[in-house]
Amino acid sequence: MANNPVIPRTQHARRRKQLMRMAGNDAILILPAAPERVRSRDTHYPYRQDSDLLYLAGFPEPEAVLVLVPGRKHGENLLFCRERDPAREAWDGPRTGPEGAVDAYGMDDAYPIDDIDEILPGLLEGRTRVYYHFGRDTDFDLKLIGWLNRVRAQVRRGAEPPHEFLELGHLLDEMRLFKSRDELKLMRKAAQVTVLAHQAAMRAARPGVREYELQAEIERVFRAHDGYPAYGSIVGAGANGCVLHYIANSAKAKDGDLVLVDAGAEIGGYAADITRTFPVNGRFSKEQRALHDLVGAAQAAALAQARPGVPYEAGHDAVVETLTEGLLQFGLLKGKLEKNIADGSYKRFYLHKTGHWIGLDVHDVGDYRIDGQSRLLEPGMAFTIEPGLYIPPDDKSVAAKWRGIGIRTEDDIVITKDGHEVLTEGLARSADEIEEFMAAR
């Protein structure tokens, strides 16, 4: 049975307090739940709550709105949510209800979501600034405009509508960028489960296996630990590994193919993101090993830059230099190192950046640059390091022996006071480690 860590309610309350302090006493902050999404006709995709609402309240249900009103005498933390409804609950499962939301989620007050049209205009009145994610949910944007217009219509009677509208992400994204101890417990758990899932895929690999069979092994491990895929699992055999966001996962892996697996578990809302590339028969060919070793060297170069005070971009620069140097040695690129970097020639084989922030979203929020400069790394920042090489199968300008090889190696790290911690430690990474693990199957 999974015994996964949880974020304590007291931490949600502290986050709300910090956010309201930053917003100021004349502000109001409005955070709607993620809408439910139709998959087909009357069936829905599995529901996933909006990450900001999870971060601030941990409330998992749809049809809800969190409203924070700093300095309000009658309560600052308000939640609108669905009422209890035994008939609906018999079909869809239990609901918290407004009464339960106050007790279970530490709200000052909670109201039925059906009453929001009557109540919210009154909460907007007298506030100067509205913090909200404009443009994310068009239907809710229109509702908010309607409530504002209701307040504006009362101006002659002395109503004071808000006159400043600010992107909530300016405050909240920066908070979410720095991970707490409790968040890191969940991220370590997601990483551990993802390691087990990748090991299951390596154990199941054999010539003739279908990509979806390996996907099934991976996602079985996620569910067995009360997790879900944090994103669509990528399982690309042979030249499919050269497609960055390959999702068909239907081809057969042939003897001699590499399999690129990019898959991560989500545990308690927090994502892991690991990529490994391994030979389906357990042995790398000479060319596969050469490129795999080069990607490994590039990842090591980026890891060496992962410490406080170093620009985030330094890891990518180190990867680009290492990969370009290797591509020149193998004859895949021609000319001088500096010129190939300056003119972007390496991008033929390395198409993406070296990583991204990770947390409640697999591509998590947070600025990468401040005032036009790459921001400096600080303790608590968590991100991926994922160099890769992709030699298109139809690229006639390179020797046939290299064509159709796609390799990526990805791990998740967090910056510590004196360096970094690899959250995804414990999974075979080098060609030797992978061959050794697969030989023991």
Can you tell me the mean pLDDT for 222-243?
98
Is 435 in the active site?
no
pLDDT in tens, 318-328: 999 999 999 99
Q: What is the number of helices (H) and of strands (E) in the chain?
A: 13, 21
Residue 356 annotated among the catalytic residues of the structure: yes
Query: What is the sign of the dihedral through the CA atoms of 86, 90, 92 and 96?
Result: positive
Q: How far is CA 417 from CA 82, 175, 316, 380, in A?
A: 44, 18, 21, 9
257 assigned to active site: no
C-beta of residue 260 within 8 angstroms of C-beta of residue 277:
yes
Q: How far apart are CA 36 and CA 137, in angstroms?
A: 11
pLDDT at 277: 98
CB 19 within 8 A of CB 201: no
Q: What is the pTM of this model?
A: 0.97
State how far the Cα of 295 lies from the Cα of 259, in Å rounded to an integer: 15
Q: Is 92 a catalytic residue?
A: no
**Could you say which of 105, 131, 350, 390 is catalytic?**
390
pLDDT at 24 over 90: yes
Nearest to 389, CA basis, from 315, 326, 301: 326
Mean model confidence pLDDT for the chain:
97
Closest to 257 in 3D by CA, of 436, 399, 405, 389 = 405
What pLDDT does residue 342 have?
98
SS3 content of the chain, % helix, strand, coil (to 5): 40, 20, 40
Helices assigned H by DSSP within 330-430: 337-342
**Active site annotation includes 99:** no
Question: Which is the catalytic residue, given 84, 356, 375, 403?
Answer: 356
Q: Which of 139, 181, 245, 394 is catalytic?
A: 245
Q: Assess whether pLDDT exceeds 90 at residue 2.
A: no
Tens of pLDDT along 68-95?
999 999 999 999 999 999 999 999 999 9
432 carries an active-site annotation: no
Per annotation, catalytic residue among 125, 257, 262, 266: 262
C-alpha to C-alpha distance for 362 and 343, rounded to whole angstroms: 31
pLDDT the model gives residue 358: 98
pLDDT in tens, 124-165: 999 999 999 999 999 999 999 999 999 999 999 999 999 999
- What percentage of residues in the chain have a pLDDT greater than 90? 98
List the catalytic residue out of 266, 386, 411, 412.
386
User: Which pLDDT band holds residue 3 (cuts at 50, 70, 90)?
Assistant: confident
Which pLDDT score is estimated for 44? 95
312 in active site: no
| Whether residue 103 lies in the annotated active site | no
Does residue 82 sit in helix, strand or coil? coil
Considering 16, 225, 316, 408, which one is annotated as catalytic? 408
pLDDT tens digits for 183-210? 999 999 999 999 999 999 999 999 999 9
Degrees to nearest 5, angle at CA 289 with 283 and 295: 130
The pLDDT score that the predictor gives to residue 108 is 97
The residue annotated as part of the active site, out of 39, 41, 42, 394, is 42
- Is 141 assigned a catalytic role? no
Residue 363 known to be catalytic = yes
Is 12 an annotated catalytic residue?
no
Q: What is the pLDDT of residue 1?
A: 52
pLDDT in tens, 359-409: 999 999 999 999 999 999 999 999 999 999 999 999 999 999 999 999 999
Instruction: Give the active site residue among 220, 363, 369, 441.
Output: 363
